[in-house]
Amino acid sequence: QFFVKNCPANQTPSITGMDCPKNVRIKTVCEGDLISTDFCTSDPDTTSAPEDSTEISFNPGNLPPAASFQRKNPGKKVQFEDGTFKWTPTDGDASPIPYRFSVTAKDDNCPVAGKATRTFQIKVNPSPKVEITATNKGCGTYQFTTRTTNRAAVVNYQWRGSNSDLSGSGATLTHTFEEPGKYPYRLKVTSAKGCSRVFRDTVELDPFLRVDIGSDTTICSGESLQLGGIPRDTAGKVSYTWHDSVTGKRNRTFSNLTSDTTLSLTIKDTVCDYTDVVEVDVRDKPEVDLGVDPRICADDTATISPGLLEELDSTATAPYAYVDGGQQAAGYKWFQGSTSTPAFSKADSV
């Protein structure tokens, strides 16, 4: 039997969430992601006295014990009660079956309270895990290999060194360091489902053969450059081979360089070989045109200044500055008179 009776007028409360004021019913996250999302309640019975007060509650469903739900005003009676859900899925929480839980809003209308319940889902994907093997190949070189240790398929690798130029984007990486020492590095791996994880470690290198023949430099066309250095941490006799196949010389002078060039020296001992490289940027010398020789009368003054070899741009700061090779002159030096201004004046008298 069913009995039907009239109930007092009361509208049921409503729930907004996840991410109130948005109304998200399903979330997809990764292991290790912090989930912190808000739920809000409201009740249409707010225009007539007495207004309803709304209470919010949580049913964890199949969530693990680490998941929590906190009311914003526990123990207090408020018109619209809100709550916050928090959970950080850990390794092993990933599942092809979504986690389901429900949130209920209940008002205090008398004699019949209104109640509404909504169900929400969270899908957890696995974050990739890899095992890194760092193998010291000697002579400053390390080889890094990886092995995936869970079911997350890795589609992207990003290697970075914190105090070296180590970098790469593959499952394996070979890198040669310039000096002995300790080198921290990190590997960020990303799965096909967009989940990422970062692994950090440090490798240490014992002393090995190396040489420093000089730093990258800039010279003017036609100038000479001397390069060379003393090998360090040698093991036995050392041989020397330059980029142009000249052998047996530890130091060399390169004369009349007229174009950009790469110079290098390779040294070898009984254990290692090492190559140091210097990049040389060769610039054309500026050309100056002072015009014809001036002829002046007694008590007159002659002013000499460099001519414009190219059109002077609007950013020029000196009236006699000139542009050479697309660059404004940076300095001037005269054999007589001022050494810092772009113009030189000479007065004569009887």
Residues 38-63 have pLDDT tens digits of 999 988 876 555 567 889 999 999 99
3-state secondary structure of 189: strand
Residues 210-225 have pLDDT tens digits of 999 999 999 999 999 9
Quick one: pLDDT band at residue 325, thresholds 50, 70, 90?
A: low
155 conformational bin, left if phi > 0, alpha if psi -120 to 50, beta if neither: alpha
Quote the CA–CA distance of 30 and 128 in Å, as a whole number. Answer: 10
Tokens coding 184:
């921290």
Total residue count of the chain as it appears in this document? 350
- Asked whether the predicted pLDDT for residue 316 surpasses 60, the reply is no
Residues 296-312 have pLDDT tens digits of 787 777 777 665 444 44
Residue in the block written with tokens 């001022």: 338
In terms of Cβ atoms closer than 10 Å to its own Cβ (0-12, 13-18, 19+), residue 173 is buried
Residues 172-195 have pLDDT tens digits of 999 999 999 999 999 999 999 999
3-state secondary structure of 194: coil
3-state secondary structure of 244: coil
Bridge partners (DSSP) of residue 74 are none
Q: How many C-beta atoms surround the C-beta of residue 91 within 10 A?
A: 12
Quote the CA–CA distance of 26 and 121 in Å, as a whole number. Answer: 5
State the pLDDT at residue 36. Answer: 97
Quick one: pLDDT band at residue 6, thresholds 50, 70, 90?
A: low
- C-alpha radius of gyration, the chain, whole number: 39
Quote the CA–CA distance of 167 and 188 in Å, as a whole number. Answer: 11
Buried b (16+ CB within 10 A) or exposed e, 190-201: bbebebbbeeee
Report the range of poorest mean pLDDT among 91-100, 112-121, 162-171, 279-288.
279-288
Quote the CA–CA distance of 43 and 197 in Å, as a whole number. Answer: 43
**Closest CA relative to residue 125, chosen from 258, 237, 28:** 28
State the pLDDT at residue 31. Answer: 97
> Which residues make Cβ contacts (< 8 Å) with residue 335, sequence separation at least 6?
none
Strands laid side by side in the 130-138 sheet:
130-138, 141-148, 172-176
**Closest CA relative to residue 318, chosen from 302, 304, 330, 333:** 330
Predicted structure pTM score: 0.71
Mean pLDDT of the 163-179 span: 94
